[in-house]
Amino acid sequence: MTTSISPPDTVPEEKAATHHMPFWVNQRLGLLALVIALSVLFGVLRPAFLDQQLVLFPLLRDIATLTVVALAQMVALSVGHMNLAVGRMAAFGAMFAGLGYDRLGVPMQVGLLMCLAAGAAIGAVTGWLIARTGVSSFVVTLAMDFALLGLVSLMYSSLTDDAAFTTHPAGIDALRSYSLADICAGPICGSPAVPQIAQFTVLAMLALGFLYGCTRIGRELLLTGANPAAAELSGIPTGRRVLLAHTLSGLLAALAGFMAAAGTGTFRASIGDDFMLPSFLGAVLGGTLLTGGVVSVLGTLLGTALVGVIRKGLDLLGVGLESLNIYLGCVLLLALSADRIRTVVSYRKVVRST
Amino acid sequence: MNRLNVTLSQGSWGGSALRRFSRSTAAMLLCVVVVGYVALGIASSGSFFEGPSVRVFLQYLATPILIGLAQMVALCVGQLNLAVGALGGFTACLMGVLMADHGVPAGVTVIVGLLTATAIGLATGVAIVGTQINGFIVTLATMTILLGAQYRLTGTRTVDGYSRTLRDFGTAAPLNIPLVFVTALVAAALLAAFMYRTVAGRRLLAAGGNPLAARLSGISTDRQIVAAHTLSGLLIGVAAVTATASLPGVNRSVGGDWLLPSFAAPIIGGVALTGGSIAVLGTVLAAFVTRLIDAARAQFSLDPSWVNLLIGLVVLGTVAGGRLHQTRLEKSATTDGAVLPQTGGAQ
């Protein structure tokens, strides 16, 4: 599912080169092996880790939400930009959904649409500012983060008494607590570990995989990220692609905000407070380049899953909350250094063998 | 270029320097600061000009200035330092714990704090250069690690039983000008002298402005990146000292809200994110502006969220306005070739 701007089947030399690369260079395979190995390790050390309802279900629900957050970051990274306001865009979108449920009494689906529309709109404003002024996306999204942080808290405190919308529309509780075990085809039921809310994640991944893998616009987004000047010269409207990427990023962030709110049951301003670090972790561990031009949808899921498994496993092993961040930071540095070493070593091998 | 030649041929250096200053971001910010301060003074019917108000205003200005400068140093070589708040918070907690729990005298603690912050900055720089991983990710990782370390040091308690000496330093204010504020200004002056007058400072700027040209002229860009992160760490250490001295106590929330202001000050002050430029005066004045917004919020007893909203809008306005001004200049100048729009941005 990794998509780079030069498809191997059109460039014979590159295809030959990829054949020489040993299989263990494949980052996603390594990640998958690591996730499985760690899950087994934690399962052996603490059998409670494999408890489907109490551990795996919330773990997978968190992974599902954070994967969407990481995808939102990935889309911005694909054009070589960043979105530091993912968390706040999530809060902004979720606020509109909560407002719809609380004040207008809309059904769940309409609220979700309002949430997505608000996210896409704020993303479009951000993208327009970046494309129009040419200012670095870092600054614009950082300032947007500030502005939304203030705006969302102000709106919550002026619209509600206890700074949260608590009205539950029909169906949202089901979304929170139902798993595949609640869907039965005859006598066969799904696993109670897989939450139903993961349907949004699967949909988002399929849509993005199709966008980047099969469409012209997806290619143009990647080319814009890899080399903006070259993209502009080859007739790609880079300004519009930047706008599109940020709109999509805002939309996905809002979706994640809705999922987080549905998961906790209340719509409040603190949704998305802790989204920024996981968004970068998931995307970057999965093989998406910060410089743009390379994305990996599946890798983003695996990267997020790795972080989630480590966090949960360490938690069960009795590592206190205070030390968890230390380990996570070290894991991030080690994983990226290992990746770097692997690339360098395999590159040397390829060079020697040719 | 044309305009510069004209002003030069017109004569006196002082006049041209003054004219250039009048067009700069710093001059605009200076006007904003003066107007804002006077307006706030009038709105508070004069009480804002009195000694105690001035003292409190300046006392809590020291830390924003220092973290803005620390971020500016990282920006000048084209790097970002996301660990500003975490490193500052960690250092402050380390000093608090050393003094309160282990009875280390204040002088020794301050030196230990400064050295620790500098060493962590150095380690960050070495990690970036050694692994060739993007500085954004490395500082993101160090931020996570330091946040954990800070929580581990203090847990959920607030450390407040520390040395009188440091506290006196934090509250001492001869002529209503707090010593911590003087410390910040001295640090800014030293930094300006280092950046504008010494070879090492010029090297930092050269490496940030054009890494390839710098390397070709014999400047090790790797070494400059390490130097910038080390200097950034030292400034954060000073910020942590001022914060520990002026706050009533340190806990794990110290530094939590430093990251965004640390970027806001240099960006409003006119520092380019691409590296190669610094603006010490601009950064200091921008920190003044953000502090004014905060003071105004306190004056009219508004929701603290207004500060974030306003600072966000000010930064957005600054970057958009600056860019539009630049495009107008480009349009008015005669250009030979088509100018490609700048869309790549993460770096």
Here the ipTM equals 0.73
Q: Does position B77 have pLDDT exceeding 50, yes or no?
A: yes
**Contact across the interface for A150 and B80, Cβ inside 8 Å:** no
Give the mean pLDDT of chain A.
81
- Per mean pLDDT, which range of A97-101, A304-308, B174-178, B195-199 is the poorest? B174-178
Residue A354 falls inside a structural domain: no
**Cα gap B38→A323, rounded to integer Å:** 48
The distance of B277 to chain A (nearest Cα, Å) reads 15
Give the least confident one: A12-21, A343-352, B249-258, B269-278: A12-21
CA B83 to the chain's CA centroid = 13
Structural domains of chain B, ranges and CATH numbers in brackets = 57-327 (1.10.3470)
Give A157 or B165, the one with higher predicted confidence.
A157
Spell out the SS3 assignment of chain A.
CEECCCCHHHCHHHHHHHHHCCHHHCHHHHHHHHHHHHHHHHHHHCHHHHCHHHHHHHHHHHHHHHHHHHHHHHHHHHCCCCCCCHHHHHHHHHHHHHHHHHHHCCCHHHHHHHHHHHHHHHHHHHHHHHHHHCCCHHHHHHHHHHHHHHHHHHHHHHHCCCCEECCCCCCHHHHHHCEHHHCEECCEECCCCCECCHHHHHHHHHHHHHHHHHCHHHHHHHHHHHCHHHHHHCCCCHHHHHHHHHHHHHHHHHHHHHHHHHHHCCEECCCCCCCHHHHHHHHHHCCCCCCCCCEEHHHHHHHHHHHHHHHHHHHHCCCCHHHHHHHHHHHHHHHHHHHHHHHHHHHHHHHHHC
Please give the structure tokens belonging to residue B167.
Answer: 């506290």
- Largest Cα span, chain B: 69
CA distance A165 to A134: 38
- pLDDT digit string (tens) for B274-304? 777 788 888 888 888 888 888 887 777 777 7
Average pLDDT over residues B313-330: 72
Pick from B145, B147, B345: CB nearest A136: B345
pLDDT(B7) > 50: no
Report the gap between the CA of B256 and the closest CA in chain A (Å): 12
In a domain? residue A7: yes
Confidence of residue B336 (pLDDT cuts 50, 70, 90): very low
Q: Which of B142, B264, B340 sits opposite A329 (nearest CB)?
A: B142
DSSP B303: -
CB contact under 8 A, B131 and A326: no
Residue in B134, B142, B315 closest to A143 by CB: B315
Q: Note whether B151 contacts A325, CB cutoff 8 Å.
A: yes
In a domain, A78, yes or no: yes
Question: Chain A contacts of B146, Cβ < 8 Å?
Answer: 329
Entry pTM: 0.79
The pLDDT tens digits of the residues spanning B118-170 come to 999 999 998 888 877 778 888 888 888 888 888 888 877 877 777 777 777 77
The number of distinct structural domains making up chain A is: 1
A307: in domain? yes
Residue A119 · residue A92 · CB < 8 Å: yes
Q: What is the pLDDT of residue A281?
A: 83
- Burial (CB count within 10 angstroms: exposed 0-12, middle 13-18, buried 19+), residue A342: middle
Q: What is the mean pLDDT of chain B?
A: 78
Sequence-distant (≥ 6) Cβ neighbours of residue B307 within 8 angstroms:
A150, B290, B293, B294, B297
Q: CATH number, domain at A141?
A: 1.10.3470
A68 pLDDT higher than 90: yes
Task: Provide the token pair at A170.
Answer: 């029909």
In A, minimum Cα distance to B140 occurs at: A277
- The DSSP letter of residue B159 is B
Residue A263 banded pLDDT, cuts 50, 70, 90: confident
In this structure, is residue A108 part of a structural domain? yes
Q: Do B343 and A134 touch (CB under 8 A)?
A: yes
Tokens of B260: 């965004």
Q: What is the dihedral of CA B7, B11, B16, B18, to 10 degrees?
A: -150
What are φ and ψ of residue A267, in 5° steps? -100, 110
Dmax over CA atoms of chain A, in Å, equals 70
Q: B206 pLDDT exceeds 50?
A: yes
CA dist B286 and B28 (Å) reads 10
* Of A140-154, B159-173, B212-226, B242-256, the least confident: B159-173
Cα of B257 to nearest chain A Cα, Å: 11
- Partner-chain contact B137 A284, CB within 8 Å: yes
The Cβ-side half-sphere exposure at A321, using a 13 Å CA radius, reads: 5
Chain B neighbors of A242, CB-CB under 8 A: 343
By C-alpha distance, the chain B residue nearest A337 is B131
Q: Which two tokens stand for residue A83?
A: 């979105």
Q: Is the pLDDT of residue B5 over 50?
A: no
Q: Please tell me which of the candidates B148, B340, B345 has its beta carbon nearest to residue A232.
A: B340
Size of interface A-B (CB pairs under 8 A): 176
| Higher per-residue confidence, B272 vs A205 | A205
DSSP strand pairing (A2-3 vs A164-165): unpaired
A349 has pLDDT over 80: no
What are the CA-CA distances from residue B109 to residues A22, A204, A287, B93 (Å)?
A: 53, 52, 43, 11
Q: How far is A136 from chain B (nearest CA, A)?
A: 5
Q: Which residues pair with B145 in a beta bridge?
A: none
Q: Note the pLDDT of residue B14.
A: 58
> CA B136 to CA A315: how far, in whole Å?
27
Residue A353 within a domain? no
Q: Tell me the CA distances in angstroms from A296 to A1, A22, A102, A213, B202, one per residue in order.
A: 6, 19, 38, 10, 41
Give the residue numbers spanning the domain of A73.
2-346
Chain A residues with CB-CB distance to B145 below 8 A: 325-326, 329-330
pLDDT at site B122: 92
Asked if residue A351 belongs to a domain, the reply is: no
Residue A352 inside a domain? The answer is: no
d(CA A25, CA A38): 19
CB contact under 8 A, A133 and B324: yes
pLDDT-derived band at A354, boundaries 50, 70, 90: low
- Which residues of B are less than 8 Å from A224 in CB distance? 343
Nearest to A228 among B148, B306, B343 (CB): B343
